[in-house]
Amino acid sequence: MKEREPVSRSGRFEQGPAADVAKFTESISFDWRLWRQDIRGSVAHARMLRKIGVLTAAELSSIEAGLKEIGGEIEKGDFQWKLELEDVHMNIEAELTRRAPAGAKLHTGRSRNDQVALDLRLWLRDEAGCLLEEIRQLQGAMIRLGERHSSVLIPGYTHLQRAQPVHFAHHLLAYVEMLDRDFARVTQALDRNNVCPLGNGALAGSTLPLDRNFVAAELGFVDSRGRPRVTQNSMDGVSDRDFAIEFCAAAALLAVHLSRLAEDLVLWAGTEFDFIRIADAYTTGSSLMPQKKNPDIAELTRGKSGRVIGNLMALLTLLKGLPMTYNRDLQEDKERLFDSMDTVRATTRICAAMLDNTSVKEQNCAKAASDPALLATDLADYLVRKGQPFRQAHHAVGALVAMAEKGSKPLNQLTLAELQSVTPLFAADVLQTFDLAKAMDRRNLTGAPGSREVPRQLARWRKILFPAPKTSTRAKK
């Protein structure tokens, strides 16, 4: 075998691939990112090979030392990746073998097919773990913003028409809940991801007595009781990418939630709403119009959801027509997975920073929330309390809204006589209905935007997101 010749081509081929073929088929330009996982997987595999007697102790230590050295060089940016070696797996293995002859034994009982499945699962676990942390940070930024303006009311909207008053914090808490389900979805996807595919070989396992459980335990593929989890069908283990798709689906939903948040922020930052001020550092100007201050982070958050949704579609399409088992098509999985991960992680982080640098224009919010039409439903509820069936109450208040509109006055300026002209159930106490503070005191069902429930929810989330540091009451012995 000529030195540096692609490891897997030796023997069978008289020639290396044509230059344009190598360029077309390579994946090193993007899968180099898997180097940490590839090395970690190789170390575990080598330890297992030692355990079953394929490697001597000396061979194992030369492999471990070589891989460690290579890892250090990659980390420093000193490693020379070679396109003709196709991918991260062959680049690392070839360089290892050049340094330590025992490297030629490393691929015993292993194929790149189970190797790449392993690397991807490890990578997903590592990266998604960071994403989970970032989701919590974003929820935290929302809680902080809500707490900074805890008494602010805004109109809640349906059909983008003013509907009923809500606390500004209540609106944010809606996103905190959405993000919590995103958190759970990623967590659940990670649980199914956490099964070790190594030992499946190319597609049919190995004739050698590999210890799959040892490798799984070594790499943290264990259940809640510490028992190793390995894939139970070799063909499934090398060819399915459902773990990547599941993550990309969770990421797409997260991106959609962030996109909705972004749309709200874009609206609120605009002159028509003018509810918030995003700090200069988190906005951009216009090259032509000197007055402009644009919410570009929010717009890009909205825009980037498109690629995350697209990545999910690409992966589903990639997989749907593949015959068993591994096909080279699967190499196309990585960039989609990487892009979804990179995009949602960066977006989640920047949104948290932006919210920490956003303030609420409380007077503008108060003005919008003081629109008495927002309390038309409360007026109907008043009649319900007086015994009127809701359908009739709804009709009566509708008539009052029309009357106010005709008289060009706000709903709360109708006289008692005018109110009573629609139904005699109205009494003098009706005017209290338009007291906004009292109206918010009346909305305290679980999950409602009322003046007791919203602080309760903020406090509930504060406890979850910012648990008090555990202080030991007992002195350490």
> Catalytic site residues?
159, 286
Handedness of CA 94, 100, 105, 106 (dihedral sign): negative
Structure tokens at 417: 């006589």
Using left for φ > 0, alpha for ψ between -120 and 50, and beta otherwise, residue 411 falls in alpha
* Position 239 contacts ligand ARG (CB under 6 A): no
- CA distance linking residue 20 with residue 186, whole number of Å: 39
Structure tokens at 437: 């503070």
Nearer to ligand ARG, 87 or 182 (CB): 87
* Position 234 contacts ligand ARG (CB under 6 A): no
Q: Do 44 and 98 touch, CB atoms closer than 8 A?
A: no
Least distance CB 60 / ligand ARG (angstroms): 25
Q: Residues 6 or more apart from 372 whose CB is under 8 A from it?
A: 410, 411, 412, 413, 434
Least distance CB 326 / ligand ARG (angstroms): 6
* Position 328 contacts ligand ARG (CB under 6 A): yes
For ligand ARG, which residue of 331, 340, 347, 451 counts as binding (CB under 6 A)?
331
Nearer to ligand ARG, 90 or 419 (CB): 90
Window of 130-138, 274-282, 327-335, 365-373 that interacts with ligand ARG by CB under 6 A: 327-335
Least distance CB 449 / ligand ARG (angstroms): 50
Cβ neighbours of 251 (radius 10 Å): 29
- CA distance linking residue 40 with residue 32, whole number of Å: 14
- CA distance linking residue 206 with residue 271, whole number of Å: 67
For ligand ARG, which residue of 116, 141, 251, 376 counts as binding (CB under 6 A)?
116
Structure tokens at 451: 């003046």
For ligand ARG, which residue of 67, 96, 124, 330 counts as binding (CB under 6 A)?
330
Phi and psi angles of residue 318, each rounded to the nearest 5 degrees, phi first: -55, -40
Nearer to ligand ARG, 31 or 182 (CB): 31
Could you identify the residue written with the tokens 């996103």? 175
Give the x/- contact pattern for ligand ARG in 79-108, rule: CB under 6 A: --------x---------------------
Least distance CB 302 / ligand ARG (angstroms): 32
Least distance CB 94 / ligand ARG (angstroms): 14
For ligand ARG, which residue of 112, 121, 149, 336 counts as binding (CB under 6 A)?
112
- CA distance linking residue 364 with residue 372, whole number of Å: 15
Q: Applying CB under 6 A, which residues contact ligand ARG?
A: 27, 31, 87, 112-113, 116, 326, 328, 330-331
